[in-house]
């Protein structure tokens, strides 16, 4: 097909490709999420133990390398049990000495903005070691000393493949409000960009 025969339809093609790219970019920007563990635990007794894996908003929390004798995680509603620290919403707790893994369900890369941490049990301090694994290699490690009050810890780690969270050996650890963003896969957007460049090149001939 001659280039001249394509020129009449080029404006429409360029508009169509531009629209597709715009939609793709808009969708990519709206993939941020907060994992809050709401609506999972029953109202009575108010907690559910043995959530493995737990999935929400395209993300998964599962057992790590040291799962221990039981599935590591449980979700508590406010006031579910005496002495369980709460922030007024559902929270996730995992067993002392065990690690859990945060990743996307379809295993694409993601960004971690922040997580709220606390000791699971009142007056029972623990520690949490958070390790981020980056695409292309490399890790970041952050040691947390939570209190009985849920407090946000900022990470701002980008392009992760997974995050491992290890609770200290003394007591269980708790978390809530995991703020994450899946990184959009570049293939579709890159292909659309190539088509748009090709259309513009033909138009200039």
Report domain extents, the chain: 3-28+187-204, 33-183
The answer on pLDDT for 3 being more than 80 is no
pLDDT at 8: 60
pLDDT at 11: 60
DSSP 8: G
* Residues ≥6 apart with Cβ < 8 Å to 57: 33, 34, 35, 180
pLDDT at 201: 52
Q: Which helix (H) or strand (E) holds 113?
A: strand 110-119
Mean pLDDT of the residues in the chain? 83
pLDDT in tens, 89-148: 999 999 999 999 999 999 999 999 999 999 999 999 999 999 999 999 999 999 999 999
Task: Report residue 9's pLDDT band, with 50, 70 and 90 as the boundaries.
Answer: low
pLDDT in tens, 36-52: 999 889 878 888 878 88
Q: Domain 33-183, what fold?
A: Jelly Rolls (2.60.120)
Contact 57, 109 (CB under 8 A): no
Task: Report residue 13's pLDDT band, with 50, 70 and 90 as the boundaries.
Answer: low
The answer on pLDDT for 162 being more than 90 is yes
């Amino acid at each position: 097909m001659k280039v001249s025969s394509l020129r009449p339809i080029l404006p429409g093609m360029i508009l169509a490709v531009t629209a597709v790219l715009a939609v793709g970019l808009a969708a990519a920007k709206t993939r941020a999420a907060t994992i809050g563990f709401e609506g999972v635990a029953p109202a009575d007794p108010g907690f559910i133990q043995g959530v493995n894996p737990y999935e929400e908003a395209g993300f998964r929390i599962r057992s790590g390398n040291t799962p221990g004798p039981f599935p590591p995680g449980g979700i508590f509603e406010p006031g579910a049990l005496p002495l369980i620290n709460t922030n007024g919403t559902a929270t996730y707790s995992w067993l002392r000495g065990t690690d859990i893994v945060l990743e996307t369900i379809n295993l694409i890369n993601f960004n971690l903005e922040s997580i709220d941490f606390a000791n699971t049990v009142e007056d029972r301090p623990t520690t949490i070691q958070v390790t981020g694994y980056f695409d292309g290699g490399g890790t970041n490690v952050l040691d947390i000393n939570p209190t009985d009050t849920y407090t946000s810890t900022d990470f701002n780690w980008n392009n992760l493949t997974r995050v491992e969270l290890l609770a200290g050996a003394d007591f269980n650890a708790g978390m809530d409000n995991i703020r994450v963003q899946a990184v959009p896969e570049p293939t579709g957007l890159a292909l659309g960009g190539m088509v748009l460049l090709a259309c513009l090149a033909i138009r200039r001939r």
